Amino acid sequence: MLSGCSSLVGNKTPLPNYAKLPDFSTEKSAGLDDISIAAVSLIGTTFKWGGNTPQSGFDCSGLVVYVVKNTREKNLPRTTSELGKYGKSLALEAPSPGDLVFFNTLGESHSHVGIYVGSGRFVHAPTTGGTVRLDEIKNPYWARRYTEARRVITP
């Protein structure tokens, strides 16, 4: 079973903040820039629930697994909820490009995931009918739903 990778469009009940946003001005490189560069190269790829290749399309966790496997030859768990248990939580530390960022879009703290690319931005596969895109974590929709960043690759 795949964990959700979609956003709730038109959700009338705002979700509570689960984490304070990090101070993105303090971010430092963790030597994972190749992961963020690979993620940016996939912007525009079609979203597909359960998708895990550029040819078939991606859901949020499929995008993460594909990028990390193809840049670092590292197998990660396939679901968003399992990715949320993997690696090290950065707590309030600013993520580095290549770290994963998690959001509560379906009532669970790890129901959506993206790849942080720097300056408060992340690449993700957000919704059915959409494409992989670049968004700002400080966008009110994502800021309210941000839960944490995790480092899943040790530099």
Angle at CA of residue 151, ends 146 and 155, nearest 5°: 150
Band (119; pLDDT cuts 50, 70, 90): very high
Residues across the chain: 155
Q: For residue range 103-116, what is the model confidence (pLDDT) as tens digits?
A: 999 999 999 999 99
Asked whether the beta carbons of 35 and 153 are under 8 A apart, the reply is yes
Asked whether the predicted pLDDT for residue 21 surpasses 70, the reply is yes
Point out the catalytic residue in the list 57, 97, 112, 122. Answer: 112
The domains of the chain, with CATH numbers, are: 28-151 (3.90.1720.10)
- Verify whether residue 110 is a known catalytic residue: no
| Radius of gyration of the chain, Cα coordinates, nearest whole angstrom | 14
- Verify whether residue 60 is a known catalytic residue: yes
The pTM (predicted TM-score) of the whole model is: 0.89
Q: For residue range 138-149, what is the model confidence (pLDDT) as tens digits?
A: 999 999 999 999
Point out the catalytic residue in the list 32, 35, 39, 60. Answer: 60
What is the rounded distance in angstroms from the CA atom of residue 137 to the CA atom of residue 134?
10
- Verify whether residue 124 is a known catalytic residue: yes
Band (90; pLDDT cuts 50, 70, 90): very high
